[in-house]
Amino acid sequence: MHKSQRALGSRGSHRSQGRPERPPLIALVNWPFLLVIALVVSYGLLVCWSAVQGDADYSFNRQLAGVGAGLVIMTVLWRFDYRRLANMTTALLVINIVLILLPHVPGLGTTAGMGARSWIKIGMQVQPGEFAKVTVVLFAASLLARYQGTLDDWREYCKVLGLLLVPFACIMTQPDLGTGLVYMAISAVVLVMGGAKARYLLLTVAAGVAAIAAVFAVDELLKYQLPDGTWEYRLLMNYQRGRLLVFLNPEADPSGDGYNLAQAKIAIGSGGLFGKGLLNATQSTHGFLPEAPTDFIFCVLAEELGFVGVVALIALYAALIAICLSIARAADDLFGMLIVMGVVGMWLFQILENIGMDVGLMPITGIPLPFVSYGSSFMVVNFALIGLIGSVWSHRSIQGRKAA
């Protein structure tokens, strides 16, 4: 694998020495890719429209505005030559840090949700950490592409790992564990595809598990009791700890920390084979299911459209991932391949985590469902990532076009 990746990297380097060729217009278009994207987005908008009806906290017009802005950004990035970003590793890291830490700027940042300082106000509320997903993909791909598919030196691996953890460390200052986990998923896939030794990866996973156990152990030692008799922890916020404990024992607190999971399961199970129909989701419309248009929109889909609707969505996701893998295989260089695989890793993680947390197979983290969950910023980011994948497709070489 490493030899073929080195060959891809050398081809990309050779091509970048001259002025990039401007491909013919027909070569820019991947019709199956565009078709699947159109179907996923349309399906997601239909479910989102049904989920936000009657809820004053959400505006479907804002979701449509996100799609419109996303289409513009997607078109620009699709035409842009991604190879111009290949040697901007340091600049991309700086952009990541600035974006993620913007909410800490006095007078600019604002607190929302469970107390996380993740938003800024610039006429409207924007979540910079969401947009940083794009730069995290580019940064990780640029960093690993330097090694031309072979990262077998332990010291270099530790350096790379340390740099990849910087965005995670920054986002945890808000704290936003869900987004941080997305950053880590992107980095993990890029590390694997970038040629990191399996032994190093296994040691990293073991160290991660040990670190999580250590956090819980230290938190237990440092906890203190409040005047009302409840316990407060110093490292993990109470709701984060509660979500993890509920995942381990879902029946422990069905009216407290386990309430969301219990209601999610009820919504999914009540949908049956064909569902109750659009606008007929009783769990969300009657207020039993919190954050239905965002974190738990899969439950709305399952309740309204049933098992058939769920299978349709999963089939569309599978087609999207399969087409992206073919684009990665046809990429002209290692940098382009890693960009596509980073996006694939991000989408797969979000899909598995969002659906998994709704059925009790994963901890509840508040990670949205790609192209379905409500959120204009989230929609813009996904379209931007589509544009990057399109750029990799449209700037492939003759050999890449034959591989596709």
Distance (Å, whole) CA 313 – CA 265: 18
User: Which residue from 147, 180, 132, 187 is spatially nearest to 163, judged by alpha carbons?
Assistant: 187
Give me the residue label for tokens 């699947």. 36
How many other CB atoms are found less than 10 A from the CB of residue 284? Answer: 26
Phi-psi group of 381: left, alpha or beta (phi > 0 → left; psi -120 to 50 → alpha; rest → beta): alpha
The secondary structure of 79-97, three-state, reads HCCHHHHCCCHHHHHHHHH
The H-or-E segment that residue 19 falls in is: none
Tokens, residue 148: 């031309």
**Which segments of 227-286 does DSSP mark as H helices, in order?**
238-248, 259-270, 282-285
At residue 17, the pLDDT reads 45
End-to-end CA distance of the chain: 18
C-beta separation of 225 from 231 below 8 A: yes
Amino acid at 249: N
Whole-number CA gyration radius for the chain: 22
Distance (Å, whole) CA 285 – CA 171: 33
Q: What angle do CA 5, 9, 10 make, to 5 degrees?
A: 120
At residue 49, the pLDDT reads 95
Distance (Å, whole) CA 142 – CA 185: 16
The H-or-E segment that residue 117 falls in is: strand 116-121
C-beta separation of 382 from 320 below 8 A: no
Distance (Å, whole) CA 174 – CA 111: 9
Sign of CA dihedral 170, 171, 174, 180: negative
pLDDT along the chain (404 residues), means of 10: 42 43 62 95 95 86 94 94 92 93 85 70 81 95 94 94 95 87 95 94 93 83 77 71 68 67 87 90 78 89 95 97 96 95 97 91 87 93 96 75 53
At residue 314, the pLDDT reads 97
Tokens, residue 312: 């349709």
Distance (Å, whole) CA 202 – CA 207: 9
